């Protein structure tokens, strides 16, 4: 294959063109010491230009397990926050009074349904009341 054909191949299929070019250069290098030296120098430069290998990354399974663990932790935190806020407002923490068939409140658990927790009320609600009074 001559150089024109190799260049045309590189335009159509760059990977195949590079492979054909490399094979042609290796063939010429076997009978031409100068070509062999040039090919060796190009090879060394390409090796030096390659980025350093990255350390092995976590496997996909490890990443998935980590994501699941993080989501579980977040879910536990959100459940606790929901319960705290429902307790601060005296609401049903399951449905907030929005589900008629709720096993906890039968749909009656809107804020004020039961006595609010005074400490949680002071933590979550009192600052809002104070802020609204400033407006």
Contact yes or no for 116/87 (Cβ under 8 A): yes
pLDDT, position 112 = 96
Give the pLDDT confidence of 85-130 residue by residue, as tens digits: 999 999 999 999 999 999 999 999 999 999 999 999 999 999 999 9
Q: How far apart are CA 75 and CA 82, in angstroms?
A: 10
How far, in Å, are 3, 27, 59, 111 from residue 24 at the CA level?
Answer: 9, 5, 40, 81
pLDDT classification of 9: cutoffs 50, 70, 90: low
pLDDT tens digits, one per residue of 15-67:
776 777 777 777 776 777 776 776 677 677 667 767 766 666 778 888 899 99
Q: Determine contact, residues 81/89, Cβ cutoff 8 Å.
A: no
Q: What is the pTM of this model?
A: 0.53
**How many whole angstroms separate alpha carbon 85 and alpha carbon 104?**
16
How open is the CA angle 95-74-64, to the nearest 5 degrees?
125
Report the pLDDT value the prediction gives residue 113, as an integer from 0 to 100: 97
């Amino acid at each position: 294959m001559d150089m024109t054909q190799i260049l045309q191949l590189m335009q159509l299929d760059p990977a195949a063109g590079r492979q054909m070019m490399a094979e042609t250069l290796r063939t010429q290098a076997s009978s031409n010491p100068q070509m062999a030296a040039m090919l060796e120098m190009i090879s060394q430069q390409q090796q030096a230009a390659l980025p350093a290998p990255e350390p092995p990354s976590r496997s996909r399974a490890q990443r998935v397990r980590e994501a699941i663990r993080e989501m579980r932790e977040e879910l536990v935190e959100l459940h606790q926050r929901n319960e705290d806020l429902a307790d601060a407002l005296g609401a049903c923490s399951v449905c907030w009074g929005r589900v008629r068939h709720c096993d906890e409140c039968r749909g009656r658990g809107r804020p004020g349904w039961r006595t609010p927790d005074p400490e949680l009320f002071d933590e979550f609600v009192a600052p809002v009341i104070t802020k609204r009074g400033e407006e």
